[in-house]
Structure 1
Amino acid sequence: MKENADYANAPVLGGLELLNAHYYRQNFARHTHEGYTVAVIEHGAQRFYRTGDQHLADQDSIILVNADDVHTGQSATDYGWAYRAMYPTPEQFQHVGRELFQGRDGVPYFPQAVVQDPELAAQLRLVFSHLRDSHDRLLNETLLYSVMTRLVARHSRSSHSFREGKAPSRALQLVKEFLDDFPAADAALEDLARLADLSPYYLVRQFRRHYGLPPHAYQVQNRLRLARTLLRQGQAPASVAIDCGFHDQSHLTTHFKRAMGVAPGQYARQSKMLQANGSR
């Protein structure tokens, strides 16, 4: 059984990443995206972790993962699962539906990981098809803005009103900011603990509590984000691995495939083809 994953970047909202994939044995490790995940299951079923629980999404379900939510993914059937997805950023949601947030703080937060909304699922399929196949920019943007607005209106709450718990301390924020700003840095846990003026054990425990991943795993996610950017810019996977702080290309490939479902070389080739088609 052959797995496939086809990435695309639609020229709307400054660039919107799309995915059309069919997996059988793929097992996504815990990872995050800087954007939201909005996906429709085409057939089969996916089991995944999000927000502290396991979830099951079968055919025609809509999967919703908030930006920076830690999540996983694997087949819940013997014959895998297929889905189509888009990854809008928080800024793109705000641009499309700014009026939805009047009197509310923050950006959309989707409390449910899986929703059953046949009408919206059909609209998302229509949008995915048009964004890939149609060159009518006005039509594509109109369809996309409409479906994103409906998604927010029907299934979101404000992140400020929904999320609970004590905000991370400034010490934890300093560590997070360092890992965000210097993803390739070879930082030791002792160094991060000194930066935060916390014990290493306490830092790891509290960092995971507030950000969903321990510092090392969070660093890997930042490295993968940088890797995607460099691959889209045309850099070779071997040099990307070194520039992003991975030991070698094999190390990059292992983490990249566990998070993205494709190898860095395939991701780079598809990005190059998309850029070539877009310049015609």
Structure 2
Amino acid sequence: MARLLLAVERGDDRLALPALQGVLDRAAACSSPRQDGFPARGTGRSAVAMVRELLESPGEPDASLDHLARHAGVGRALLCRLFRRETGITINEYRTLARLRRVRGLLLRGSSLAGAAADAGFHDQSHMTIRFKKYMGMTPGLYARAAR
């Protein structure tokens, strides 16, 4: 863009045309579908909505921040700021809460603690128990007994 402006200021048509073509090529690349299967650049609420949907999906992978940002079509830092602004919590906190919602549902259906931890995406039952107690105020075993 700077080359284009400089060429226009100087009145140099030989430089202006290639510079204009470069600007147009970059603009077309931003608006065309991406070759890696991720959506074209998302912004604002749409980026956060895409990430929330991915984190809420039952088979949610243990996706890295890089993967989530590519999925939403925005940079990592921007995604973190947008997500926190819209939801009031970080992406990792949201991921944990989504997993805990899955655990609660599984426990209500009679799943074992170890099975619920694995199915919800926790690395082990101990990790799930620590998070469950922190956010829910009771152990998952006590929750399961109270729900029956």
Deviation string 1:161-209 (CA, Å, 9 cap, x unpaired) is xxxxxxx421221111111224642111111000111111111111011
Kindly tell me: are residues 183 and 256 of structure 1, through their superposed partners in 2, closer, same or farther at Cα, counting changes over 3 Å?
farther
Correspondence for 2:91: 215
Kindly tell me: are residues 183 and 212 of structure 1, through their superposed partners in 2, closer, same or farther at Cα, counting changes over 3 Å?
farther
Rounded to whole Å, the distance in 2 between the matches of 1:183 and 1:226 is 11
Map residues 1-280 of structure 1 onto 2, 5 A cutoff.
168-182=44-58, 184-272=60-148
Q: Mark the runs of 5 or more structure 1 residues left unpaired by the alignment.
A: 1-167, 273-280
Identity %: 43
Structure 1 counterpart of 2:131, one-letter code = H
TM-score, structure 1 length as denominator? 0.36
Contact 1:175 1:196 in 2 (8 A): yes
Q: Mark the runs of 5 or more structure 2 residues left unpaired by the alignment.
A: 1-43
Rounded to whole Å, the distance in 2 between the matches of 1:205 and 1:182 is 25
Give the RMSD, CA atoms, in angstroms: 1.6
Alpha-carbon deviation of 1:216?
A: 1.3
Deviation string 1:66-109 (CA, Å, 9 cap, x unpaired) is xxxxxxxxxxxxxxxxxxxxxxxxxxxxxxxxxxxxxxxxxxxx
Rounded to whole Å, the distance in 2 between the matches of 1:260 and 1:184 is 21
Contact 1:184 1:243 in 2 (8 A): no
Rounded to whole Å, the distance in 2 between the matches of 1:172 and 1:233 is 30
Structure 2 counterpart of 1:228, one-letter code = R
Alpha-carbon deviation of 1:212?
A: 0.9
Secondary structure of the structure 2 residue equivalent to 1:213: coil
Kindly tell me: are residues 211 and 259 of structure 1, through their superposed partners in 2, closer, same or farther at Cα, counting changes over 3 Å?
same
4+ runs deviating over 6 angstroms: none
Rounded to whole Å, the distance in 2 between the matches of 1:248 and 1:220 is 13
Correspondence for 1:154: none
Q: Highest Rg: 1 or 2?
A: 2
Deviation string 1:209-268 (CA, Å, 9 cap, x unpaired) is 111111111011010011000001111111110100111011000110011111001111
Answer 1 or 2: which has greater helix percent: 2
Number of residue equivalences? 106
Secondary structure of the structure 1 residue equivalent to 2:89: coil
TM-score, structure 2 length as denominator? 0.67
Secondary structure of the structure 2 residue equivalent to 1:169: helix
Rounded to whole Å, the distance in 1 between the matches of 2:142 and 2:120 is 18
Rounded to whole Å, the distance in 2 between the matches of 1:184 and 1:228 is 16
Secondary structure of the structure 1 residue equivalent to 2:54: helix
Contact 1:184 1:223 in 2 (8 A): no
Rounded to whole Å, the distance in 1 between the matches of 2:74 and 2:118 is 30
Kindly tell me: are residues 179 and 238 of structure 1, through their superposed partners in 2, closer, same or farther at Cα, counting changes over 3 Å?
same
